[in-house]
Amino acid sequence: MGPETPLPLPVEFDSVDDYVESLLEFTTSSWLLQTLCGGVHILDFYTKSPDLYSAILPQSWRDWFKDRDIMDILDLLMRENLSQFDVHDEQPGDLSWRGGPPPPEGLLQYLKEVRKHLLGRTFPPPNSGLSLRKSTIARHVAIGMKVKKVHEVDNFARYIDRLTADIAAAGKRDITHLVDFGSGQNYLGRALAAPPYSKHIVAVESKQHNIEGAKNMDILAKLVPKPLVMRNKKEHRAGQKKQEKEKYCDSNGFNSTPGTEPNISDERQEIETNCDLKNCKPQPVSKPSVPDPSITATENSEDGVAQINSNTVTTTLQIYSEGHGSVQYVEHIIKDGDLAPVVSQILDSSQVQEDNVTTMSKAVEEPANINAVPKSSEPNLMVISLHSCGNLVHHGLRSLLLNPSISAVAMVGCCYNLVTERLGPPTYKLLSLRPNHPRLDSTTNACDPHGFPMSERLATYPLPYPSDTNVNGTEGSDEPPRGVRMNITARMMAVQAPQNWGADDSDLFFTRHFYRALLQRIFLDRGVVAAPIESDPVGGAVSASGHTSKLNWTPPNGRGPGLSSNGTATPLTIGSLRKFAYKDFPSYVRAAIGKLTSPNTFCEVDPEFIASKMEGLTDDDIRDYEIRYTEKKKELNVMWSLMAFSAGVVEAVIVTDRWLWLKEQPEVETAWVEPVFEYELSPRNLVVVGVKK
């Protein structure tokens, strides 16, 4: 069961133990890797002195990058065969590459070290006996999926089907139900419940609107019919207009709450009508009930919704007519790996009585009274997840130990930036380049026991350099600091997919980064922000965006410029802009300033303060900034490329940590990691599997 090696090792390694030790040694000892992965923020790129580009990269690297096209540089980082630069005695001394000198030896050595520690991402995995296949998902089941989602769902559903068969073939008890962690729109569950798999799915989702969206998707897939709503159109429209007028207008007819966007979905109440031949009586449509948080348990409700506690609600059970698979929608807030509230609600779809069946369509049946369906007596569960964000993967893996009825897990993670920190503030080798970013203070000081790292191997790994403040809690101790840490900036870079960057899309996001970094320079010159902080006491506040410039504006009741009443930094948040804003730099600056100075801005900074500082800024001034910094745009492109390339090691550390945690548990019989998607279509393609003894 499982692949030949439990990790998709690079070709340089034959032993998993050797790879893990080398990975941890490189991660904790390479100053350049640590700096590129978490030590650079683009908003500091044109505001710090000396500039980050010169402070971080050697002169020989900068000279070579200067004369190279950015796509050539990307090819060198990720695609070019580096062995061609190896100098042998029989070869001439003068080597060239693409019409110019070869890369510096130091750069080549760093690239080799990074590549050497990247996990294999080839799909199908080598020696697996698998081949690429066209999607087998029925068209009506694939409704709403884009090409990427079809690829993910089709391959992962096929993988889960093989995995359950392998578990049964190994002499273990058959998996009765698949628990989909964070099911969302239930694309995966819908595919697994339908033929040819016909699995029993427990779709666990914390957000009610996602469950309702999944049910609407069932309607679009023609698995259940669209509900028929009869209404008196005149009364319905009159009711809508009346409610909008009462809600949004005061006695003078103006918006009573300027700066707020109307929430149409909340304010418009549908009018359902009981119609006969004589008259129509409009009545409000009943909205789904939300459990009272103060209630710990309730009786069976009249509408057939079974409630176990305030956080776990079974809303629907769908039984597929062909193949007899099923989907049970469960609303549950996942806070840890304890799934007892979910397990206690799992229904036995095979025991639904004929007189309790409502035929929704030719494809799906639902019980008329969900409370009359008996519970599954001895479910044997596998927890699955397709791109669970942040700590959800950690909760899913821990569910293997916390729930006796769960015998296997198969989790594909994503959004590493949402993972919390377990060990507290990271230790930095070069403090001058690592000022105290708020991402390092607000997120890493939390010491969340559910965060990274999971394994004791990483949590207790000795760091090869001393620290000014011992992270183990004692100052002046002779013991070296322990524990591998990854701050949020490093983890955010780990979700990049530089191997997929092409010329057009690279130029687009390089330009966006350049515009935002250059706008920060304008903010600095015009007094919106102060000069970047070189050093600050531990716990000192800086921008919540992760850069080191503080605002020159004091919030109401604030402690000082850029500091709120509780001492945290006030962020200067621009957010997303419309596509036309990136037509040129003046358009971008005008759009950004317009958003920051609008009355309904989401930014916490006073719009009048920004407007006063930016007053008198002409388009010619803006173009002059762009002209002066045009040559430095490439420096930002090179740095961002190196950061994204290097962050592949961060992802390898995170995934390896999850596998190590499974291996450390005595209850786990076997565990492995392998790719389940094509990287080109879905870069977060590594599944972590654990099977209990």
What are the pLDDT digits (tens) for 360-419? Answer: 666 677 777 777 787 888 899 999 999 988 899 999 999 999 999 999 999 999 999 888
Q: Among 485-489, 557-561, 596-600, whose mean pLDDT is lowest? A: 557-561
For the chain, helix, strand, coil in percent to 5 are 40, 15, 50
Percent of the chain with pLDDT over 90: 44
- How remote is the C-alpha of 582 from its chain's centroid? 25
Tell me what the mean pLDDT of segment 228-240 comes to. Answer: 76
How far separated are the first and last CA of the chain, in Å rounded?
A: 13
pLDDT number for residue 404: 93
* H or E element at residue 692: strand 686-692
Q: Among 27-31, 57-61, 575-579, whose mean pLDDT is lowest? A: 575-579
User: What is residue 279's DSSP assignment?
Assistant: -
pLDDT number for residue 46: 92
Helix (H, G, I), strand (E, B) or coil at 391: coil
In sequence order, what are the residues at sequence separation of 6 or more whose Cβ sits closer than 8 angstroms to the Cβ of residue 294? 310
Please give the residue that has the higher pLDDT: either 546 or 87. Answer: 87
Plot region of 279 (φ>0 → left; ψ -120 to 50 → alpha; else → beta): beta
CA dist 328 and 349 (Å) reads 9
pLDDT number for residue 23: 97
pTM: 0.81
For 464-521, the pLDDT digits (tens) are 876 544 444 445 556 778 899 888 888 989 999 999 998 888 888 899 999 999 999 9
Assess contact for 271 and 284: CB atoms under 8 A. Answer: yes
CA dist 650 and 643 (Å) reads 11
Which CATH class, in words, describes the domain spanning 173-226+312-415? alpha beta
Q: Among 47-51, 185-189, 448-452, 462-466, whose mean pLDDT is lowest? A: 462-466
Please give the residue that has the higher pLDDT: either 351 or 155. Answer: 155
* H or E element at residue 648: helix 619-664
pLDDT at 240 over 90: no
Tell me what the mean pLDDT of segment 336-343 comes to. Answer: 90
Structural domain boundaries of the chain?
173-226+312-415
pLDDT at 440 over 70: no
Closest CA to 572 of 538, 609, 599: 609
